[in-house]
Amino acid sequence: MEYRQLTMDDRCQLYEMLHQGATPKAMAAALGVHPSTISRELSRNRSQRGYRPHKAQEKAEARRKLPRRPSRLTPELRGLIAAKLREDWSPEQIAGWLKGEGRAGVSPETIYLLVYADQRRGGDLFTHLRRRRGRRRSRAGKRDRRGQIKDRVMIDHRPAVVDNRSRVGDWETDTLLGKQESQALLSAVERRSRYTVLAKLKDRKAASLAAAMVELLSPVRERVLTLTSDNGHEFADHQKIAAALQADFYFAHPYAAWERGCVENTNGLIRQYVPKRSSLDTISPGI
């Protein structure tokens, strides 16, 4: 349904239907507009004495006369953002760089909207995003078929201080798979500082991952308080890792990637240089 502005006649009809007890959905159908148009009209143009057509019309006309705020995305800035996207910078990187250049106020979300608007016009900027928009699959009611890791402690029991990012020492960890099923990289990211360490695994067995994790984080063991991973069976030796690093180990819920958003976003950056289905043979073990 196309958007259109309400007229004075519409507002008079709306006033009558409102006093007859009609629902916003029914009012929207009668006027041929979206229900959100009705909700917005009743909230923005209501006066102290309730909704009155003439007062609502005056408010709407006064609002239309207000000068529009100039867009932050000038043609020069749009061109600069497009150039950085074609260099495979992420919207988050571009927003951070612009802020460092004294051009604050352009958020990653604004850049994503610019990319998707370009896509609707037939542009190709979206092809430079590390993650493409896809249809979300509902996981509701689905059972985790991978089995359960013994003695795992779920993220629900993790200290609340971890969520605040108020201290250094809380890590998220994950694996990035290579072309062959046996190939993988281990990534670990400290939540507050974003300090990231990587290791190439000789295989995806739990014992190999545990040994690599301990070796990777032992140099900063004083700064390892908690670890959070997904439910992959390569983390089955979590208790050995926790004991060696003297840290607490927690598991996110299945199909809840947002509970480990820090390492997920970092893995997206790593994938720029190690794309999915690429061989890890050329990567040295001491990455």
Does residue 139 lie in a domain region? no
Same domain, 220 and 251: yes
Phi, psi dihedrals of residue 10, rounded to the nearest 5°: -60, -40
Does residue 136 lie in a domain region? no
Same domain, 264 and 159: yes
Same domain, 188 and 262: yes
Does residue 80 lie in a domain region? yes
pLDDT of amino acid 257:
82
> Residue 24 is encoded by which pair of tokens?
């916003």
Same domain, 175 and 265: yes
Does residue 100 lie in a domain region? yes
pLDDT of amino acid 255:
81
In order along its 287 residues, the chain shows pLDDT tens digits of: 556 789 999 999 999 998 888 988 899 888 888 888 898 899 989 888 889 999 999 998 888 887 665 567 788 889 999 999 988 888 888 888 888 888 767 888 889 989 988 998 899 998 888 765 554 454 445 555 555 799 999 999 999 999 989 999 999 999 998 887 778 999 999 999 999 999 999 888 999 999 999 999 999 999 999 999 999 999 999 999 999 999 999 999 988 888 998 998 898 888 888 888 788 887 766 55
CATH number assigned to the domain comprising residue 190: 3.30.420.10
Same domain, 178 and 263: yes
Give the count of domains, the chain: 3
pTM above 0.75, yes or no: no
Same domain, 206 and 179: yes
Does residue 141 lie in a domain region? no
Same domain, 17 and 114: no
pLDDT of amino acid 146:
52
> Residue 128 is encoded by which pair of tokens?
């430079």
Same domain, 262 and 175: yes
pLDDT of amino acid 136:
44
> Residue 114 is encoded by which pair of tokens?
């610019």
pLDDT of amino acid 142:
52
Q: Structural domain of residue 91, as residue ranges?
A: 75-128
Same domain, 60 and 79: no
pLDDT of amino acid 87:
87
Cα separation, 90 vs 282, whole angstroms: 25
